[in-house]
Amino acid sequence: MSETVTKKLMLYFPKCECEKPIIYHLVKDHNLVVNVFRAKVTPEEEGFLVLDVTGTEEQIQSGIDFVKTFNVTVNFTGKGVARDEAKCTHCGYCVPYCPTGALNITDGQTRQVAYDESKCIECLACVRVCPFGACTSAF
Ligand code: SF4
Ligand code: SF4
């Protein structure tokens, strides 16, 4: 049996595709386990969705192929939250607010703050607390 993997994706929905039951079909027809971190989808506007999908590589690919038939753009980095390296002063203020350790200090000597995007659950705490505006949300 093929190995199961988890991938973080960000989906961008053009205005006209927002009401389609895409998540339902990813689960039912493509046998994916879906964990939605954050969504901004309204009938009048374009929409964004950041989610984890878990399944075999083949299931994930068929789910992505399905999603693309709706003119949905798939960002494979899943970066709803990004850190601007040029703006980050490594002050460390965000670290205790990050619930998953995505923002963390790995080297006690340099005290540099690392950002492991794969651990980010899109809670937006860092966006709110960073004094330098280094953490931003795509939507
Ligand atoms: S609070 Fe902002 S500037 Fe400070 S370490 Fe975190 S991301 Fe960098
Ligand atoms: S959005 Fe939340 S989980 Fe992601 S890096 Fe910022 S504080 Fe951590």
Expressed in angstroms and rounded, the spacing between residue 82 Cα and the centre of ligand 1 is 12
Report the CATH fold assignment for 4-75: Alpha-Beta Plaits (3.30.70)
Q: For residue 76, what pLDDT is reported? A: 83
> CA 106, 109, 111 angle in degrees (round to 5)?
55
Q: What are phi and psi of 64, to 5 degrees?
A: -65, -40
């878990």: which residue's tokens?
54
Kindly state the percentage of the chain with pLDDT values over 70: 96
Instruction: Identify the CATH number of the domain defined by range 81-137.
Output: 3.30.70.20
Contact of 58 with 6, CB cutoff 8 Å: no
Name the average pLDDT for the chain: 91
pTM score: 0.81
Report the C-alpha gap between 102 and 45 in whole angstroms: 30
Residue 63: both structure tokens together: 């789910």
Expressed in angstroms and rounded, the spacing between residue 67 Cα and the centre of ligand 2 is 26
Ligand having the closest approach to the CA of 105: 1
Alpha helical stretches, state H, 9-129:
22-28, 57-68, 125-129
pLDDT 10s digits, 6-42: 999 999 988 766 667 888 999 999 999 999 999 987 7
Domain boundaries, the chain: 4-75, 81-137
